[in-house]
Structure 1
Amino acid sequence: MYSNVRIVMMYTSHPGNIGAVARAMKNMGLGELCLVSPKSFPDIVAERRAAGAKDILADAKVVETFDEALEGCVAVVGASARGRKIPWPVMNPRDCAKKVREFALLPKTGSDQENQNKVAIVFGREDRGLTNDELQRCNYHVHIPTNPDYGSLNVAMALQVVAYELRMDYLLYSGLGDATQAAPTLSPENDGWDEALATSDEVEGLIGHLEAVMIKTEFFDPENPRQLIPRLRRLFQRSRMDKIEVNIMRGFLNTVLKAIKDKC
């Protein structure tokens, strides 16, 4: 199926859940698993639960931070079961599958085509899911509409639901014709995008750069932040900037900082 969809598990406490996720991934044709600081991995319990999917575990990448897990991704989807203070684009698994397809099948541009169009789907801790800060790093949230009287889902169950919808959408779409030739573009009014999309870490670098400039110009008080940075982050995540757009913004911010320095 999609070779550019990355499943990310955050701070998993029980190795059995890693094995169960690997099995669910292989069932649905997904292959890339990234583990952020798991409590125990590699682990024999994970291997037992993985059954015939030990190859997924063998190829799994273990990293220490969320930033490392999102490296190279142009879109990030976070699994969330809770409402948030600031509204964020939320989808059910079926609509999520369509959105992932839009990004995963984008026409590739530029020289570094091998790593383009990487999409991360992030699943949180077993006991409390993803934090607000982590969810703010996501372009979209996916919510599984469970029984409102009992909405608790094991992480592997949640992944299975999302992965199933990914597979069904992919099969239905590719069955209509040659999916590689009929790939949708990011903007329906355009025939294709002229630059590769900015990765999550590039956008985060821009946000950090902007925050530094706002502090320097006294527009932003870090002692009284309110919700300025989360709202700016939502704006940039929603806009889907490409690499050139990020570079333009950062070039402008560097000019602002230089002007401030020269004035002093």
Structure 2
Amino acid sequence: MAADLSRISIILVEPIYEGNVGAIARILNNFCFSDLRIVGSIPKKNDFYLAMHSKEILENAKLFDTLEDALVDLDRVIAFSRRKGKHKPVDLSPMQMASYVHDLPQFKIGLVFGRETYGLTNDEADLCPLRCHFSANPAFPSINLAQAVALACYEIRSLPQRVDEDMGRKMTDAVSKEELRKIHGYLYGVLQDINYFSERETTNWENFLRKVLVRMNPNKEMVYRLRQMFNRIHVLVTGKGKSYD
């Protein structure tokens, strides 16, 4: 059975160059995607010209003032970036990204693409727990926005043809976005209560915990065990337990 790609949203943050959005609409149509979201911009005349046989996707595109607004109803979010380094780690290769998307068939997933000029701001990147990076020429790693969207859509669309679907781990019992936020807040709260963090902390532990949980995609039993383990740590250090509610 073909994968349901309507649950996957392609999110463009303030696209600048006229025509890119139209080319992306055509790409979405090529690979059977339909949900296009645009932050801080609107399709231009030339976009409709380049969206050959795909104007309906442009006409139905959802417009948002901020990236945060565009992500409200999504369960998992992956950002695409050409930049990588100590403070900009890469979590997923393109094929790993596609596998991740297919392994969570019950969830709505957003793929976020930044501006053609400088990508995403740090605050915007922090809204996206996972990062995907296309390996390209180190001397010229910047990929055109429409081309980047095409590569991502191709990876997702073609994965079932390249990998036996029965071999994939379908995480249909992974907890919801709300439950992930709750256990994340609990774990981070325990670490705060036991004074785990140093005054000169160089690691963003809040983001690190969020990234670990999103990569793990825990089910309810795993969440319960994490609560149990961290509650015991809280008891050992402070002498009392920590409520989960």
**In which range does the TM-score fall when normalised by the shorter chain?**
0.7 to 0.9
Aligned twin of 1:190? none
Aligned twin of 1:164? 154
Of residues 230, 237, 249, the one that matches 2:214 is 237
Note the C-alpha offset of 1:204. Answer: 4.6
Mapped partners of 1:45, 1:8: distance in 2: 19
Aligned twin of 1:123? 113
Mapped partners of 1:45, 1:205: distance in 2: 45
* Aligned residues of 2:129 and 2:210 also touching (Cα < 8 A): no
Mapped partners of 1:52, 1:208: distance in 2: 46
Note the C-alpha offset of 1:246. Answer: 7.0
| Structure 1 unmatched runs, 5+ | 105-115, 188-192, 259-264
Mapped partners of 2:55, 2:107: distance in 1: 26
Alpha-carbon spacing, 1:34–1:119, altered in 2? closer, same or farther (3 Å): same
Q: Which moved more, 1:203-212 or 1:64-73?
A: 203-212
The answer on 1:62 being equivalent to 2:67 is no
Note the C-alpha offset of 1:143. Answer: 1.5
* Aligned residues of 2:35 and 2:61 also touching (Cα < 8 A): yes
Aligned twin of 1:28? 31
The answer on 1:144 being equivalent to 2:138 is no
- Percent identity over the alignment is 28
Alpha-carbon spacing, 1:166–1:231, altered in 2? closer, same or farther (3 Å): closer
Mapped partners of 1:172, 1:211: distance in 2: 39
The answer on 1:198 being equivalent to 2:176 is yes
* Aligned residues of 1:76 and 1:139 also touching (Cα < 8 A): yes
Mapped partners of 1:245, 1:68: distance in 2: 30
Q: 1:157 aligns to what SS in structure 2?
A: helix
Mapped partners of 1:218, 1:240: distance in 2: 26
Normalised TM-score (structure 1) = 0.69
The residue type paired with residue 74 of structure 2 is: C
Q: Which moved more, 1:80-89 or 1:51-60?
A: 80-89
* Aligned residues of 1:81 and 1:144 also touching (Cα < 8 A): yes
Aligned twin of 1:10? 13
* Aligned residues of 2:84 and 2:90 also touching (Cα < 8 A): no
Aligned twin of 2:92? 90
Note the C-alpha offset of 1:169. Answer: 1.5
Of residues 26, 37, 42, the one that matches 2:40 is 37
Mapped partners of 1:48, 1:21: distance in 2: 12
Q: 1:90 aligns to what SS in structure 2?
A: coil
Note the C-alpha offset of 1:218. Answer: 8.4
Mapped partners of 2:179, 2:146: distance in 1: 30
Aligned residues: 227
* Aligned residues of 1:213 and 1:256 also touching (Cα < 8 A): yes
Mapped partners of 2:47, 2:220: distance in 1: 38
Alpha-carbon spacing, 1:152–1:243, altered in 2? closer, same or farther (3 Å): same
Deviation per residue, 1:81-128 (Å, 9 max, x gap)? 11132434231x233222222223xxxxxxxxxxx4212111111111
Q: 1:236 aligns to what SS in structure 2?
A: helix
| Structure 2 unmatched runs, 5+ | 235-240
Q: Which moved more, 1:156-165 or 1:72-81?
A: 72-81
Aligned twin of 2:78? 77
Mapped partners of 1:210, 1:11: distance in 2: 35
Q: 1:127 aligns to what SS in structure 2?
A: coil
Of residues 136, 141, 145, the one that matches 1:155 is 145
